[in-house]
Amino acid sequence: MPVTLYTLVGLKIYLQENGPPINNMDAQAILLISNQHPNDGYLYAGEWLMPAFKKSLAILGLSAISMSCFAVSTQCTSKEFTLQLLGSGGPISDDMRASSGELIWWKGKPRVLIDAGGGTFLRFGQAGAHLEDVDFIGISHFHTDHSADLPAILKNSVFFSQEKDIDIAGPNGSDDFPSLTQFMHRMFAPGTGAFSYLAGMFDGSDGVNIKVHLTNVDYHLTTPTQVFDKDGLKVSAIGIPHGNVPNLAYRVDTADGSIVISADQNGSNPAFINFAKGADILLLPAAITEDADAVSKFLHGTPSAMAKLAKASAPKMVVLNHFMGKSLVEKDQTLAIFKQYYNGPVYAGRDLSCFPVVAPTQGE
């Protein structure tokens, strides 16, 4: 357990060394000691408190501790080819994390955004991203924890200085869920959309300075569908099973490597293994625990089901996201189960943590 250092104006401040990640949710500010592995992620919450906190420690004569505390960065050190998690939580707000969203930085720019769950609008800004630099947005499925902040993020375009094209992909619809095109029209259609004041995004008119190009992907196909190809950046998508919800995984390929993003899935589609093969980074959800009930397992894979996907597709690194209350508490067990099947490194992601494929250049 972390050590409680302070209770200051009602804020509990914890100091965490290399121990297990902090899961108790009454910690409003958490200060990390610098030798924690950076890829286990940093919490941003301590940043604004840090200067006053370090000064207070110095006054108390605790200069050694003061020196070893550091402001937690919300931005990636290397943006050459890097996965940054905007959200690492699930659909229930009690995990105190943003829901799913991933940025893929390439050559210094956030070229690809996959998913835009609740909370990712804020994290997008904290990551230092600008929508002007995003060329492709992929939505896995239309659960709120993967799509609710999309209108808020697209609204940025009203403030662009010049028009920009953005390609957006999402799944075909079903009886219970809209296709990407239906979703976008329910949000933005002139006159009838919930946010019809942004209808100009369909043709770049009315002061909305983006033009969206929409692709609905057939999630029943067992071979990948290419959804973006520009300047050496390629994105493809394939259906993954998430109960009866139309749902896609995405793969981003560049000359610098490959990143595969799996949203929620139960792990039962063998085609996903080929799709993910040879990736530098495979992002997998850690939504449930091994003892989950049958309904949960129809929607989500257990840690062992996800670990088997990792073993079969053999990426160089696995990153976990989509933690929920119980899976956060049992994070160590999940990591231990992964180790039984998969020999590579497995990192439990946090909001805004960065996973570079291309190592930072010296001096950064």
List residues binding Zn ion (CB under 5 A): 143, 145, 264
CB nearer to Zn ion: pick between 27 and 324: 324
Give the shortest CB-287-to-Zn ion separation in angstroms. 7
Measured CA distances, 123 to 128, 242, 350 (Å): 9, 25, 12
Q: Determine how β-strand 346-348 pairs with β-strand 318-321.
A: parallel
CB nearer to Zn ion: pick between 210 and 217: 217
Strand order in the sheet with 354-356: 210-217, 164-171, 136-138, 109-114, 101-106, 81-87, 354-356
* Two structure tokens written together for 215: 């692709």
CB nearer to Zn ion: pick between 116 and 166: 116
Give the shortest CB-262-to-Zn ion separation in angstroms. 11
Give the shortest CB-192-to-Zn ion separation in angstroms. 26
CB nearer to Zn ion: pick between 95 and 264: 264
Give the shortest CB-322-to-Zn ion separation in angstroms. 6
Give the shortest CB-71-to-Zn ion separation in angstroms. 31
Q: Which helix (H) or strand (E) holds 225?
A: strand 225-230
Does residue 158 sit in helix, strand or coil?
helix
**Under 8 Å between Cβ of 2 and 30:** yes
**Under 8 Å between Cβ of 122 and 144:** no
Give the shortest CB-122-to-Zn ion separation in angstroms. 18
CB nearer to Zn ion: pick between 54 and 146: 146
Rounded CA separation 320/314 (Å): 15
Which residues make beta-bridge pairs with 259?
A: 252, 281
* Two structure tokens written together for 307: 């670990």
* Two structure tokens written together for 50: 């840090």
- Residue nearest to Zn ion as judged by C-beta position: 143
Rounded CA separation 227/251 (Å): 10
